Structures are given as structure tokens and as C-alpha cells.
Structure 1
Amino acid sequence: MRLATFNLLHGRSLTDGLVDPDRLAAAIGALDADVLALQEVDRDQRRSGNLDLTAIAARALDAPHHRFAAAVVGTPGERFRPLRHDDDGHGEPCYGIGLISRHPVRSWQVTRLKPAPVRSPVYVPGPRGGLILLHDEPRVVLAAVLDTPHGPLTVAATHLSFVPGWNARQLRQTVRALRALPGPRVLLGDLNLPAG
């Protein structure tokens, strides 16, 4: 079984900054993953052509089981709001994570993580970049219990905070949430943590 994680950067190419659904599908198809976790995923965002990037990725892998979990409604860095209860922001631009599986999904679980309560310095490259103070945004964990040829497997996707210490706290919350699901368990994503 091949597991992969991919930070989509809203579907933008690192070479020219454009969002090209065919190029994105080709890159994802080349991964040939049985299970794929996606971070920085747009759905219905003007900046990414109002596309559903999770659905594009699922088609590229010929994977019938997929789900997008919005972390926020709106566009991070511009204007957004956290989701309320079971609100999934449908019909509005959303930003979050995705999870795709070629194996059948028994159940899905969404766990919401609060943003850091303080602004944190982040280095932004480029001519107008530098060290800037940013507000964190809410985060989300999307878990699926899969039926695989080897038995049940829980796979989760997340993108933790960039704020040092707060991301470790979110990781502990994530581990607690996953303990309620069948083992073995695998966590995929952009954890924003040092290797140690």
C-alpha cells in the first residue's frame, strides 16, 4: 500500500504560479498513491479557478473515496471565518485539507483545532517579504477508517499551526482524537514541526 501527503499550495505551480488543473492532475497521478492526504486545498476559491481540488486529485488517482474538510470559509490572508458546528461552507469559497482513498471508507471523523491565540513571526520570501507577524487560522484533522486487504486501517490528514508550541499542542489533541479509532493508525500531513 502506498501512502502519500502533498501540500497543494492552492494548486499553484512553483514554476509559474498558475493553477492548471491538468498539470495538477498529472502531478498527483504520478504519485500513484492508494491513500493521499492533501493540505492547503481550495474549494470554490476565485484564486484557484473555483475548482474543487480534492475532486481533481481523486479523479487523477481513480480513487472513488474522498472528502474535503474545510478549516475556514473564505480566503486565508484575506477574509475568512471559522466553521460553526457541522457547517461545511458549501456554496462559499473554502480552504482546508483533503483525504483520498482507493480503499473503501467505513467512516469519516472530523476534529477541529483552534488557532493560536497570538500572532507569530513568519518569514515570507520575495521582494515584499521578510519577517511579518501573522494571525493563525483554525485547523482541522480529517480521519478515515479504511477497509484494506490487510484489515482496517485509520488514516488521518492534517495541517498543523505554524506557531511553535501551539502545533505541538495540536498534535497532542490529534493523537487523542485518533486513539478513539481502530488501529493501526497513520497520520499524514504538514505538521510544521522540527524533525525531532
Structure 2
Amino acid sequence: MIKFVSYNIRKSLGTDRRRQPERIMQILGELDADIVALQEVDRRFGQRATTLSPELIVDFTGYMPVRFGIREQSLGWHGNVLLVKKGLQVTNQQRIELPAFEPRGAVMADVTVGHERIRVVGMHLGLIGNWRLKQAEAVVGYLEKLEDRMPTVIMGDLNQWAQDGGCLAEFARHHDIIPLGPSFHSRRPMLPLDRIITSRDFRLEGAGVHRSALARTGSDHLPVWAALSLARAEAAA
């Protein structure tokens, strides 16, 4: 079983208006995931400096950051970062350009867990519906053009309020959208903005929204998670 998490950390700014990267580290420790997709890690302006230092992540969590930043001060790509549990092998890191009215992008990497390679995409889609649809089409199209296909998990803040339609309909053509629950606003969650989407290679073991007291103050979003097993691995066993 592999645990995946997606979390929009709002540049480490909590609902108490305090910017506390250490609190985000504690929340990541509570989650105890294998693979994490973070959004809004880097600041949007100036040098786009990260709010989570790689050294802090390595020293105080069980994760290793996957480097995507093209600036020395940045950890991610348009604020998107992937973290993997220490000891997991990461290859084929790629930045995905997305069509957008405002700057947007996605990140991708192949992660070896046990004897299986899994493709992971982290993304943060736009605020405008027609652009979200174009961005979903771009992510799906990018994955379809890759020569080597493998089990894939797509995670992130989709910024879609509705339970279906829109960009979700594009992903649902060839993927499963895991039911998770509302993750925004963390003080009173009502909107399911954060999503985990999978290729049809997985068996769902569990999923939900992480609602700890610390998570309710760490960001305006709550983390979402899914525990997955590879169906083909189960069949072989």
C-alpha cells in the first residue's frame, strides 16, 4: 500500500496569519505519506523564494524534496513541489508548461516504490473555469504523449468548486477521481478544491481529508490523502 498526499500550504502562512514552515513540517509528519504533492511552496513575486528550505525538509521530516526550480532560491515550479519518503528512487523529473491567463505549471516525476514505478504529477490549476479545462487537457495530453506508460497519480489544488464537470470531466475520461471530501476553507471546509486522480491501475484502500487541530491552522487548505495498492501487484500475488 502506498499513501499519497496533496496539500496547498499557502506559502506556509497559517489561518492565524503567522508564517511558520516548522508547523508545515509537523503536519507532514502527522500525514506519514510515501509521496506528497505541495502547492504554493514558493512566493509568487520577486525571486520566488521557497518558504520551505530543502535543508529543513531533510533534517526534520522523513521526506526528500524533488528539485524542479530553475531559480536557486526556488524549490518548485510555479509553487509545485513533490516530496518522497527517504529511500525512494526518483527519475525523469519534468516541468509541464500549462496554458494560463496567470502563471501556472505542473511537475512530474517517476518514483520507484518497492518493485513498481509510479508516475506522479503535482499541479495547481487556475481560477478561471475555461483555463482550468485547457490546463487539464494539457496535463492529460502531455502524459499521453510519453512513450513509457505506467500507473499514474495526479494530485493538486484544482480550484474547482463543483463535484463534477469542468476539468474533472476531462480527467475522468481515462482516470478515476477519488472521493475525498471538502478541504477548503480549513476553518470550515465546504469546497472539495483539492483532488487525487489515478489511472485505472490502482485499488483504493482508504482516502480522506486530514483534519487535525494543527492542519486547521497551518494553511487555508486541509491536506487530502489516499492509500492505494496496485491492482496488478495484487493479481500477481
Relative to the length of structure 1, the TM-score reads: 0.69
Could you say which structure has the greater relative contact order, defined with CA pairs below 8 angstroms and 6 or more residues apart? Answer: 2
Residues 38, 97 of structure 1: 8 Å contact kept: yes
- State the Cα deviation string for residues 104-142 of structure 1 (Å, max 9, x = none): 1021011111322xxxxxxxxxxxxxxxxxxxx211110
Name the structure 1 match of 2:62: 62
Matched, 1:36 2:33: no
8 A Cα contact 1:44 1:92, kept in partner: no
Give 1:24-173 correspondences, 5 Å limit.
24-42=24-42, 52-53=51-52, 55=54, 56-57=56-57, 59-69=59-69, 88-91=70-73, 96-102=79-85, 103-116=88-101, 137-173=102-138
Contact 2:68-2:75 at 8 Å conserved across structures: no
Query: Higher helix fraction: Structure 1 or Structure 2?
Result: 2
Amino acid aligned to 1:144: A
Structure-2 separation of matches of 1:29 and 1:39: 17
The structure 1 segments of at least 4 consecutive aligned residues displaced by more than 6 Å after TM superposition are: none
Cα distance, 1:109–1:51 mapped onto 2, change above 3 Å: closer
Could you list the runs of 5+ residues in structure 1 that have no partner in the other structure? 70-87, 117-136
Normalized against structure 2, the TM-score is what? 0.58
Deviation at 1:175, TM superposition (A): 0.8
Structure 2 counterpart of 1:76: none
Aligned to 2:158: 191
- Displacement of 1:54 in angstroms is 6.1
Q: RMSD across aligned C-alpha pairs, in angstroms?
A: 2.7
Alignment length (residue pairs): 155
Change beyond 3 A, Cα 1:44–1:51: farther
Question: d(CA) in 2 for partners of 1:37 and 1:192?
Answer: 15
Residue 13 of structure 2: aligned partner = 12
Kindly indicate whether the alpha-carbon contact (under 8 Å) linking 1:142 and 1:157 is maintained by their aligned counterparts in 2.
yes
Matched residue SS, 1:22: helix
Determine the C-alpha separation between the residues in 1 that align with 2:97 and 2:149. Answer: 20
SS in 2 for 1:174: helix
Q: 8 Å contact 1:8–1:39 — kept in the other structure?
A: yes
Structure 2 alignment gaps of length 5 or more? 165-237
Mapped partners of 2:138, 2:95: distance in 1 = 12
